[in-house]
Structure 1
């Protein structure tokens, strides 16, 4: 994971940078160079986000995911308009307003960020908000259960 600048210590997400057979770029329709889909950005704490990425990856539902430079938060690209109805505690959804947050780009749309799951390694152009909501809930319950066992 050196290319994304994140050391996630052997997590299953390390395999996300390699496209799986039948998924990734080949599974999506071809796009013109530089063309993308406007997206909003859901940000969550890194621990919950990494768990959610693993859950989504196992269910073939992960879109592009960003990490901040400090690796404290992850950002999931979701379809434009998601922010208007996003209400998941512990997360925030920012409207893109066409300011360059676009799936399908090589460069991260947010200054100081990097790709955890790059667009070419993602299984979709953006993560479905309902699927992300469920994965974040499952991730929170998993983290709570692990913390109780300590």
Structure 2
């Protein structure tokens, strides 16, 4: 096989664009807890899925988890929303957002392709319970 000396490797995040992931948005506090829960679980079990790319908004009020396409069709977790992105407005490979803009908390090139919706659902539920318990201790 001849070499063409042409780099045919996809750009970072290109696999995400092919399937236009859906986006689960949650309040920042709950989302940060969920990221920690998923990362701890992935570190403790070799078969556990890690967290995929996570966006933060410029106001600091929400985090968005990229999940597989089609997740929005059945997402019904109270306190969160899941929307189809169809790739609109998604910029991959830009891991240095400007102040006040939406940017990556966990950029695509630093983590797995997307977060498993069932893993995310469980982590968000656990995060909500932890936050409620902490708030009730005050």
TM-score range, shorter chain: 0.7 to 0.9
User: Would the aligned equivalents of 2:11 and 2:93 in 1 still touch at CA under 8 Å?
Assistant: no
How high is the TM-score relative to the length of structure 2?
0.77
Corresponding position of 1:141: 129
SS of the aligned residue for 2:108 comes to coil
- Residue ranges of structure 1 left out of the alignment (5+ in a row): 1-30
- Corresponding pairs, count: 115
How far apart are the structure 2 equivalents of 1:76 and 1:136? Answer: 11
Pick one of 100, 109, 130 that aligns with 2:118: 130
How far apart are the structure 1 equivalents of 2:63 and 2:41? Answer: 19
Aligned: 1:33 with 2:15: no
How far apart are the structure 1 equivalents of 2:63 and 2:133? Answer: 21
SS of the aligned residue for 2:21 comes to strand
1:57-72 equivalent positions in 2, closer than 5 A: 57-60=39-42, 61-72=50-61
How far apart are the structure 2 equivalents of 1:120 and 1:98? Answer: 17
Aligned: 1:54 with 2:43: no
How far apart are the structure 1 equivalents of 2:29 and 2:88? Answer: 28
How high is the TM-score relative to the length of structure 1?
0.71
Q: Report the RMSD for the aligned CA atoms in angstroms.
A: 1.8
Deviation at residue 100 of structure 1 after TM alignment: 4.9
